[in-house]
Amino acid sequence: MACRAAGPRRQALRHRRRHQRDPALPDRAGVGRRVIRPLTAADLSAALALQADGYPEALWDGEKAFVSRMTVAPEWCWALERGGRLEGYLLSHPWTSMSPPVPDTTLERAEGDIWYIHDLSTARAARGRGVGRALLAACEAAHPQIRRSELVAVDGAEPYWRRLGWRPAMTGSVVAKVAKYGSAAVYMARDWG
């Protein structure tokens, strides 16, 4: 019996596989190549707009708090743009384990033994395309000394962070500190070998 490899359904599947776009590759529609680079002051208005679109208003950092997080540890903050437009950003810094910073406060220093992820935000149109993973990978590659990362998952983001390897770490005094991020907030941690 002959194989039906050339049938219309199989041809459609092959065509779809060949033409699925890898989010890390250039966009064939001409929108532009993704560029991952340091987050800078020039990104501030676009980053604040992404923050407003991605987080509940009660969790927004004001401009002063946002800028302080960008400037105390600029080598830990990343942007992903395509065609000159910001598609996502990562705002992070070194910090003390099990001690999340109070929301919307300015930071004077960024010291500590862990990688604290304050914000990871993606434009709605770019969600599901690996923007968050790419930003995290860029930071990890720039800081191979990372042994532990911590964050507060807010607004139902716990499943996302679980898929990436973070696990709940709601112990001791961190419970009261995390309450400032909302009732559904979960403190999470990830260890590297």
Over residues 105-121, the pLDDT tens digits come to: 999 888 899 999 999 99
Spatial contact of 81 and 34, defined as CB atoms under 8 Å apart: yes
Q: Residue 93 is encoded by which pair of tokens?
A: 């810094």
Distance CA 178, CA 131 (A): 26
Q: Would you place residue 136 in the very low, low, confident or very high pLDDT band (cuts 50, 70, 90)?
A: very high
The per-residue pLDDT for 51 is: 94
Mean pLDDT of 124-149: 95
pTM score of the predicted model: 0.81
Let me know if residue 12 belongs to a domain: no
Let me know if residue 76 belongs to a domain: yes
Let me know if residue 9 belongs to a domain: no
Instruction: Report the range of poorest mean pLDDT among 26-40, 60-74, 139-153, 164-178.
Output: 26-40
What's the CATH code of the domain at 126?
3.40.630.30
Let me know if residue 42 belongs to a domain: yes
Tokens 């434009």, residue located: 123
Let me know if residue 39 belongs to a domain: yes
Let me know if residue 68 belongs to a domain: yes
Q: Would you place residue 189 in the very low, low, confident or very high pLDDT band (cuts 50, 70, 90)?
A: very high
Let me know if residue 141 belongs to a domain: yes
Q: Would you place residue 193 in the very low, low, confident or very high pLDDT band (cuts 50, 70, 90)?
A: low
Provide the residue range defining the domain that includes 114.
30-146
Q: How many folded domains does the chain comprise?
A: 1
Residue range 49-86, pLDDT digits in tens:
999 998 888 889 999 999 999 999 999 999 999 999 99
Let me know if residue 171 belongs to a domain: no
Residue 13 has pLDDT above 60, yes or no: no
DSSP result, 102-163: PTT---S---SSEEEEEEEEE-GGGTTSSHHHHHHHHHHHH-TT--EEEEEE-TT-HHHHHH
Taking 3-state DSSP, the helix, strand and coil percentages for the chain, each rounded to the nearest 5, stand at 35, 25, 40
**What does each C-alpha distance from 132 to 63, 119, 123 come to in angstroms?**
22, 10, 10
Distance CA 7, CA 159 (A): 40
